[in-house]
Structure 1
């Protein structure tokens, strides 16, 4: 019976070292869930030897290369950090609030203090727009018409702008046991996390298993569309691990 395979399959990345080269003693395998498509390309340079005639008299394989690409639908911070950034990650919420409701500037003291979602704490101003959608100008203090100042999340407006509707956007943080956040430091070139890649695809019990023992990611792409889901894309290349292993594979037939 012939073997056929169908669908995108499943791909796991198991971190082996962090961005600084430290071995991860007890790694957590990361499933790149809701896989959309996977491609793994195995190639090698072919060197040919010519004599006096038109076609080569010998050929040999030179440098080899294994590269992969996966697109997946379930966005997960642990996956991003383990397979691409490899730096310190904490459980906390870091988010932006883009105001689409608006608030009316009150009379004395002409101040609006937004309440961040999730009992969060205001951290960074991302601008204020008036009812016409035009940006207001931020100043250090004593705002005049069309201006505002902000201190610790309290937005002060001009007396003359009382009664106007404004839209305040900002960044905030909040305590969370689920959300992930990380500050990516500017580290030395050559430093990057490595991981083991396991891919499986099957149809009717006939499977294809492929393991790449040591991989490094070359690109993380995060592209959005106005009418579609965010589909992250991770590109990577494989190389030999400390035991000289590059790849293992297995098929049902």
Structure 2
């Protein structure tokens, strides 16, 4: 008797473009997969209560996969249908610093050389937020030189312990996906391969043509982020939906 246990595995590979850098992407740390085959039914009734015939109408194949691993190449290939660039849009959150005791009252954050944008400042002891101004003249005010990443304060905040949050660029590692406003009808496609096994007996499903319909990245206090990607399958150019394979 063939059985299945666990979440199995699923891979997606982009098919609307080919070339270097396009390959299979596995949904890592998979939690669960659900694939539904659904048809509309058309009943034919006469004068009696129950139909005399039933025919299948339109069919639909939908799927959803929940997974924990964050992989930029999967997002770019399978969902957004774009080519990522090497690099990161990085965030430094609550970076500790101290305003100098004497002029100039300037703080240079750790990643100032690749500074991108300001996300605000707070006092380390009280958590009270600073207000960004053109020229700081009192306590709780600061300004930013966006060209250099330097933060400037007034003398009223000399020796103050602060927490700085900002964004910066990383150019040598990671994947950076630029999201653009594509024309309607632009639809990246991929082939999906699902596999699950128990005691050496495997079940495999290949769907030749799929398109992602929804990507959810939920976060929640005190637990892991489990992303969900929903997709639909359709017939490829040869009219084939895919293949279902079992041992028995």
Q: Which range, TM-score by smaller chain?
A: over 0.9
- The Cα of 1:120 is off from its aligned counterpart by 6.2
Q: Is the 8 A contact 2:76 2:84 kept in 1?
A: yes
Q: Whole-Å Cα distance in 2 between the matches of residues 198 and 157 of structure 1? A: 57
Residue number in structure 2 paired with 1:91: 86
Q: Is the 8 A contact 1:83 1:193 kept in 2?
A: yes
The alignment's TM-score, normalised by the length of structure 2, stands at: 0.94
Residue number in structure 1 paired with 2:4: 5
Q: Aligned pair 1:123/2:116, yes or no? A: yes
Residue number in structure 2 paired with 1:14: 13
> Secondary structure at the residue paired with 2:94?
coil
Q: In angstroms, what is the RMSD of aligned CA positions?
A: 1.5
Give aligned pairs, total.
243
Residue number in structure 1 paired with 2:143: 149
Q: Is the 8 A contact 1:84 1:192 kept in 2?
A: no
1:201-239 Cα offsets, whole Å, 9 max, x none, are 010111111011111111111111222222111100001
> Secondary structure at the residue paired with 1:225?
coil
Q: Aligned pair 1:161/2:157, yes or no? A: yes
- The Cα of 1:132 is off from its aligned counterpart by 1.3
Residue number in structure 2 paired with 1:20: none
Q: Is the 8 A contact 1:69 1:233 kept in 2?
A: yes
Q: Aligned pair 1:199/2:198, yes or no? A: no
Q: Tell me which stretches of 4 or more aligned residues in structure 1 moved more than 4 Å.
A: none
- The Cα of 1:123 is off from its aligned counterpart by 0.7
Q: Is the 8 A contact 2:88 2:175 kept in 1?
A: yes
> Secondary structure at the residue paired with 1:80?
helix
Residue number in structure 2 paired with 1:113: 108
Q: Whole-Å Cα distance in 2 between the matches of residues 122 and 103 of structure 1? A: 16
1:23-76 Cα offsets, whole Å, 9 max, x none, are 224530111121110000000000001000000011100010000000112111
- The Cα of 1:182 is off from its aligned counterpart by 1.4
Equivalent residue for 2:234, pick from 235, 239, 248: 239
Distance 1:155 1:114, change over 3 A: same
Q: Is the 8 A contact 1:143 1:156 kept in 2?
A: no
- The Cα of 1:141 is off from its aligned counterpart by 2.8
Which runs of 5 or more structure 1 residues have no equivalent in the other structure?
A: 18-22
- The Cα of 1:174 is off from its aligned counterpart by 1.5
Q: Is the 8 A contact 2:77 2:83 kept in 1?
A: no
Residue number in structure 1 paired with 2:171: 175
Q: Aligned pair 1:104/2:98, yes or no? A: yes
Q: Whole-Å Cα distance in 1 between the matches of residues 154 and 168 of structure 2? A: 25
